[in-house]
Each structure stands twice: as C-alpha cells, then as structure tokens.
Structure 1
Amino acid sequence: MTPRTTAQPQMSVEEFEELARRAAEFVRLEFISGKVQVKPVPDGNHAEIVKWLQRQCMQHRPELWLYPEQGLKVEAYRKGRARPDSALAPDDYFAGAGEWADPTGVLMAVEVTSHDSDTNRRDRVEKPDGYAAAGIPVYLLIDREACSVTVCTEPEKGTYRSSTTRPFGAVVELPEPVGFTLETEKLKDYAD
C-alpha cells in the first residue's frame, strides 16, 4: 500500500471538525486526504465481525480494549481525521480525549469493509496511508468482499512497509505490539 498524493483540501481541519460536530447522529464523517467523506453505517455482519474481534482481543490482551469508532487524528502532514471501525489501545487510553484523539498510544487500527462504492479507495488505500502516517504499528483489514484478512505493519513515511493477506479460515499472526494469533474460521459465517 503506497501513499497517494492529493489536491488541495476541501476545507481546513477546523472547518471539518465544526461540520462533524453539527452533523446528524446517523451521519459519521471523516476527513481523509483533504476530503470530507461519509462513513457508511455498518450492517449486522459488520457489527458481528467487530464483536468477534473484540472478544479475541479481550481473551488474549485483557489489559487492552478495542474501542469502536473512536475518532483519531491521522495523516500528520494533511491533518486528517478518521474513525476506524475499532482502535486497540490500553484501557482508559481515550479518557478525556474528546472526539478526535491523538493516535500515539493506539496499537492497532481496524477496518471491516462495507458494501459501498468507496470501500476500495477508503479502506484499502487512504485509511491505511493515514494510519501509517500517524505511526499506528498495526493495521488490520477484514475484507468481506475478498473473504480475507490483511495485516499491515512497519509504518514508515506514510505507508506500511509490510503487508500479509490470508483467506478467512487461516491462522493470522498479529505481531507486536499486539502480539497474538487470530483463528479466523468464524469470519466465514459473516462473509456476504
């Protein structure tokens, strides 16, 4: 996954944050690569995958928590704002952080693909670049369309240098600082 260049931002990050504050509850906005994006509302299988992963994290790393939808400040040089489907961080890490938190202590950002026209660009290109630029050590993509799990690591200069993809059902290693293995057979139940 390589970094992408972008045109001038649509607005400043301050203008975006004000827009996001005023958005209706059922609309979730992100500011990625200088553009305002609407994040799709997850369906039932999406929610089940996040729940499954949360259970795995609790079993293997009880001192951490998989926070759903926590806004993160990403893309240091572009001043991006993203809402990963989940962010793995120490318990209480986001206490007092507000809507858009510093990602420094986040160990892993997680996205589960949705069935919309922007998922390829958003989940496979722009968001990983943003998470890498923010220095998040591990990016986990659960790709329902491809029935695969991708683990990206070694963030450097706005991109992940290492990427491994395995099919649903395979054993997937989440390297340090996450440091545990996922048995992904259950994800086959949620492929659609």
Structure 2
Amino acid sequence: MTPMTSDQPQMLVEEFEELARHAPETVALEFLNGKVGVKPMPDGNHGTIVAWLLQRCMQHRPDLFFSRNRGLKVEAYPNGRARPDGSLAPQTFFAGKGEWSEPEGVLMVVEVTSRDSDANRRDRIEKPTGYATTGIPVYLLIDREAATVTVHSEPKGSRYRSGTPQPFGTVIELPNPVGFTLETEKLKDFAD
C-alpha cells in the first residue's frame, strides 16, 4: 500500500459524495483541499445568528432566498464540496438541483464560526479561497471568537480583493449584487 502524501486527496469526490449521501442527518460533511471535514452541529448562538441574518436578508431582499447548509461545488479544491451556513440566491435557484449545486448564481455565502478549531480554519482560510475561485461575489464571515464581521468581496482568482474585519456593532455595507446595509449591534448578544 502506498502511503498518502499531504498533496493527495483522501478519496475521490465521487467516493466523498457517496459517503455524504449515507451520513446520518445529524452529520454534515464537507470535502475541502482533498480532505473530509465534519461540520460541527451548531450551538444556540450559532443557530440564532444564522436565523437573525436570514431575517435581515428577507427584510431587505424579499426577491431572494436564503438557504441554510446547502451543498455547493467549490472547484478551487480538487472537486471540493462545501456547506456554507447560508447561501443567498434567486428564489428558484436551488429548485430541481441535487445535493451539490454549481455556485454560479449564488450572490452571497455566509459562515458563522464555531468553537471547533478545524471548522474555524476552514471558515477563515480554506473556504474564502474556494468561494473566491468560483466567483461568488460576497462571502460574509461572522467571527464569534473575534467578535467581528468581515465582508469579503471583489473575487479575483483564488482570493477576495476586499475584506476588512469590523467589530460587532458596526454598520456593514453588503455590496452589490446583495446591496443592503446590515446593522450588527445585535451580534454582541451572541458573541462567545
């Protein structure tokens, strides 16, 4: 048996998709940088932040749909698969699609950090690369540990050209194509 090097994926994407298809409903799997990751079950603050953001999106952009934990193909990683905490897209964008959707047409993805160090690394380092490479216009990172919100925008190649962390409580502008202002004072109630 040949030992696996760090450059080799743990499995083929088809094998990962089969594994993910048979995982219990309480387990959300991702496949980033050729490695399988388990997305931790959200705690109460995490779930409340996602619900709060869903509500803000629907108030400001009722023409769009906010989908939670929707599987996206992020090809920056060799055939990568990610499950953002939220995806903002046209209302019928995900209709009729399988478990893993192409990202073209998604306007914004959202990740809320958790206490799991592996998930935090994926949210802060690996996922921005994948989301930028696929051309998703806005990546919103709500970092509970640092009590900051970062709006990543202007994707070019494998990175976002714009993205500065702002403390909870700051008024954040979500650029087009999302196009609304987000008041983040409420997030202070849910910081770790």
Shorter-normalised TM range: over 0.9
Q: Which runs of 5+ in 1 are unaligned?
A: 1-5
| CA RMSD in angstroms, aligned pairs only | 1.1
Query: Is 2:39–2:119's contact at 8 Å kept on the other side of the alignment?
Result: no
Match of 2:163 in 1: 163
Q: Secondary structure at the match of 1:115?
A: coil
- 8 Å CA contact 1:75, 1:129 repeated in 2: no
Q: How does 1:32-111 map to 2 (within 5 A)?
A: 32-76=32-76, 78-111=78-111
Using the size of structure 1 for normalisation, the TM-score is 0.94
Contact 1:112 1:141 in 2 (8 A): yes
* Bigger relative contact order, structure 1 or 2 (CA pairs below 8 A, ≥6 apart): 1
Tell me the SS of whatever aligns to 1:142.
strand
Amino acid at match of 2:102: D
Q: What residue is the counterpart of 1:147 in the other structure? A: 147
AA matched with 1:11: M
Separation in 1, partners of 2:101, 2:76: 13
Deviation of residue 162 (structure 1)?
1.1
Provide the residue aligned with 1:3 in structure 2.
none
Deviates more, 1:154-163 or 1:35-44: 154-163
The alpha-carbon deviation at position 77 of structure 1 amounts to 5.7
Q: Deviations over 1:96-148 (max 9, x none)?
A: 11110011010001000001121331110001111111110000000000000
Match of 2:178?
Answer: 178
Displacement of 1:155 in angstroms is 1.0
For 1:27 and 1:126, locate their aligned partners in 2 and report how far apart those are by CA, in whole Å. Answer: 20
Mapped partners of 2:42, 2:115: distance in 1: 9
Q: Counterparts of 1:35 and 1:80 in 2: how far apart (Å)?
A: 9
Deviation of 1:165 (Å): 1.3
Counterpart amino acid of 1:33? N
d(CA) in 2 for partners of 1:143 and 1:76? Answer: 23
SS at match of 1:149: strand
Unaligned runs of 5+ in 2: 1-5
Find the residue that maps to 1:118 and give its secondary structure.
helix
Deviation at 1:76, TM superposition (A): 4.3
Paired residues, what number?
A: 187
